[in-house]
Amino acid sequence: MDLEKLLTDRLAPAFETVAGVPVDPVVRRSQRADFQSDAALALARRLGRPPRAIAAAVLDRAELADLCAAAEVSGPGFLNLTIAERALGGLVSALATDPRLGVPETAVPETVVVDYSAPNVAKEMHVGHLRSTVIGDAAARLLEWLGHRVVRANHLGDWGTPFGMLIEHLVDLGEAEATQELSMGDLDSFYKTARAKFDTDEGFRERSRRRVVALQGGDEATLRLWRLLVEQSERYFLTVYDLLDVTLTERDFHGESSYNDLLAPLVADLDRLGLLRRSDGAACVFPPGQVGRDGEPLPLIVRKSDGGYGYPATDLAAIRHRTGTLGATRLLYVVGLPQRRHFEMVYAAAAQAGWLVPPARAEHVGFGSILGPDGRMLRSRAGESVKLVGLLEEAVARATALARERNPELGEAEAAEVGRAVGIGAVKYADLSSDRHKDYVLDWERMLSLDGNTAPYLQYAYSRIRSIFRRAGVAARPDAGISLAEPAERALAFELVGFGTVVAEVERSLEFHHLAAYLHRLAAAFSAFYERCPVLRADGPVRESRLVLCELTARVLRQGLYLLGIRAPGRM
């Protein structure tokens, strides 16, 4: 139970008595006191009474004695509330014995599909893939922790016309050579060479076209070559996920091709449902309310005029599979915001077909684009994309060097481990700590920064706490009394008891920058506490109390970092 809610529950009845109708007391944190309630001002006109008088009347009737050390009317009619040390200490004690740190498991567990990462076979993962992968992984971790059944779906781009040219290029290179190149993770040059031949060599282009037909026709020899490409790419992607500390595994690859057999029946069913219209030779669904450039209804092309299927068909098949076969009720698509319209249309069509009906619903967890220095979207085609592993390796190298420099006591192995946790954490945090809806300009230095509001700041706070316990050689006693005489102790306590509120908010919004901001506030509160409040050199009950605060801070930091997909080394 968080303090906003506790205070709201106490103030609401008093407001209702004074106003004669239910009123939200509008409780929030305040710089002037611990909390303030703003509702009296809004009520003044309606009640025809001065706001200060209303606030005073509410104070008279509210049961606050056990919670608040002070409660007073202030300014034009704010209620300023100061929490009693005993009440705050009680909440801290409750947290200390709560294995879930104030975050209850969900009362209504659901099956949730999180569709994320989705790299393309035989194409390099560039920084653009970072966002989907990192945000999606955080969503999966969070929902799982809350008690939902999470299905991770890595919607691999493993099908379509480019595979004709990719397979022909593989044939040209020879299987051994191609496998070698791909297993080294040199996907970019493989793809680009194939592309270049396709663009310049008429014969190659013709072979590629025939190869696509063979692939789609199920030619066994072609399929074998295709599988080679897919397997090598998957192997490579798994090494990136491993480096990134992402929870995706080989079991989570559900490529576009896995829906191939479902596409023809899907279109037939859409036809049977009367949703299909033929337009310029293509089979289309026209979801209501979607209008294109010329004001005409916008089609979702489920079968192209050449008889092939595009990604709308695959996405529809995936929805049908996820709600039908998997029994999912919440579908998350962690995909860039530019594709918003596409998904709106797919969801609308799926709803019309009866494949996405309440309680099942789909959410586009969209994110802004990564821009180049010119302020325009980074395009892999123009060759301006930045290889993801390059960024990650640089991050690890810098962090490892810093770890060695800052703490010579670390052994070589431990420095490497810390460097990895810090470097990767910094890159992920740089992404997760800003509002996912916004575009951002790719700034190599910003992504690699290890100062300020970054993952290492949080990790450092955590490792300092672990260091205290290593030295103390004791554990915190969760039943110790909590004393909060120092302002820094109070400030830390307020942050600690707020974890549940933040997690609940992020569960709803899937905006992880709120969690990142919270963890930064917590770490900052701890750092200030650490400077001013000695733990091991304190005596008796104060020492016991501070050990509990430390232990709780460490647990919340570790759990919060875990939810963001960031490791918390015990030593830095």
Partner RNA sequence: GCGCCCGUAGCUCAGCGGAUAGAGCAGGGGACUUCUAAUCCCAAGGCCGCAGGUUCGAAUCCUGCCGGGCGCACCA
Of residues 349 through 378, those in contact with RNA by CB under 7 A are 368-369, 371, 375-377
Whose CA is closest to 168, among 224, 207, 202, 114?
207
CB 4 within 8 A of CB 16: no
Contact between 149 and RNA per CB under 7 A: no
Closest CB 308 distance from RNA, rounded Å: 6
251 near RNA, judged by CB under 7 A: no
Q: Is 162 helix (H, G, I), strand (E, B) or coil?
A: helix
Task: Give the residue with the Cβ less far from RNA, 28 or 235.
Answer: 28
Least Å from the CB of residue 102 to RNA: 21
**Distance, CA of 16 to CA of 14 (rounded, Å):** 5
- How is residue 462 written in tokens? 């955590």
Strand ranges across the sheet with 111-115: 149-153, 111-115, 330-333, 361-364
SS3 81: strand
Is residue 82 involved in binding RNA (CB under 7 A)?
A: no
User: Whose Cβ is closer to RNA: residue 98's or residue 344's?
Assistant: 344
Tokens, residue 497: 């008891």
**Which is closer to RNA, CB of 511 or CB of 551?**
511
Residues 4, 501: Cα–Cα separation, whole Å:
9
In whole angstroms, the minimum distance from the beta carbon of 404 to RNA comes to 8
- Which range in 102-110, 168-176, 285-293, 348-356 contacts RNA by CB under 7 A? 285-293
- Could you say which DSSP state residue 339 is in? G
Q: What secondary structure, in 3-state letters, does 21-45 show?
A: CCCCCCEEECCCCCEEECHHHHHHH
CB of 531 to RNA, least distance (A): 4
Closer to RNA by CB, 36 or 222: give it: 36
- The distance of closest approach from Cβ of residue 74 to RNA in the complex, given in angstroms and rounded to an integer, is 4
User: Mask 117-146, x = binds RNA (CB under 7 A)?
Assistant: ---x--------------------------
Q: How many chain residues touch RNA (CB under 7 A)?
A: 105
541 lies in the site for RNA, by CB under 7 A: no
Among 20, 76, 265, 327, contact with RNA (rule: CB under 7 A): 76
In whole angstroms, the minimum distance from the beta carbon of 328 to RNA comes to 21
The DSSP string of 244-259 is: HT----GGGB--GGGG
Rounded to the nearest angstrom, the gap between the alpha carbon of residue 391 and the centroid of all alpha carbons in its chain is 20
Is residue 25 a contact partner of residue 7, using CB atoms and an 8 Å limit? yes
Which string of DSSP letters, residue by residue, matches 520-537?
HHHHHHHHHHHHH--STT
Site for RNA in 87-116 (CB under 7 A): none
Residue 72 burial by Cβ neighbours in a 10 Å radius (0-12, 13-18, 19+): middle
Candidates 199-207, 234-242, 389-397, 440-448; binding stretch for RNA (CB under 7 A): 440-448
Candidates 102, 136, 160, 287: give the one binding RNA (CB under 7 A): 160
CB of 151 or CB of 335, closer to RNA? 335
User: SS3 of 389, please?
Assistant: helix
487 forms part of the interface with RNA (CB under 7 A): no
- List the one residue from 2, 49, 74, 173 that touches RNA (CB under 7 A): 74
Site for RNA, residues 308 to 337, rule: CB under 7 A: 308, 310-311, 314, 337
Q: Is 388 helix (H, G, I), strand (E, B) or coil?
A: helix
Span 13-72, contacts to RNA by CB under 7 A: 26, 28, 30-33, 36, 38-39, 41-42, 44-45
Q: How far is the CB of 229 from RNA (least distance, A)?
A: 15
Stretch that binds RNA, among 130-138, 158-166, 183-191, 556-564 (CB under 7 A): 158-166
CB of 163 to RNA, least distance (A): 10
> Which residues in 377-436 contact RNA (CB under 7 A)?
377, 399, 402-403, 406-407, 418, 422, 433-435
Nearest approach in angstroms of CB 175 to RNA is: 25
Q: Which is nearer to RNA, 3 or 150 (CB)?
A: 3
Whether residue 288 is preceded by a cis peptide bond, meaning omega within 30 degrees of 0, is no
- In the complex, the smallest distance separating the C-beta of residue 382 from RNA, rounded to whole angstroms, is 11
Please state the length of the chain. Answer: 572
Q: d(Cα 519, Cα 277) in Å, to the nearest integer?
A: 52
Backbone dihedral angles phi then psi of residue 74, each to the nearest 5 degrees: -145, 150
Kindly tell me which of 150 and 480 has the beta carbon lying closer to RNA: 480
SS3 content of the chain, % helix, strand, coil (to 5): 55, 10, 30
Told to check if 192 binds RNA by CB under 7 A, we report no
Nearer to RNA, 99 or 288 (CB): 288
| Residue 199 sits in the site that holds RNA (CB under 7 A) | no
Q: Report, in Å, the least distance between residue 473 CB and RNA.
A: 11
From residue 448 to residue 467, the character string flagging contacts with RNA as x (rule: CB under 7 A) and all else as - is -xxxxxx-xx--x--xx-xx
What would the 3-class secondary structure string for 188-241 be?
HHHHHHHHHHHHHCHHHHHHHHHHHHHHHCCCHHHHHHHHHHHHHHHHHHHHHH
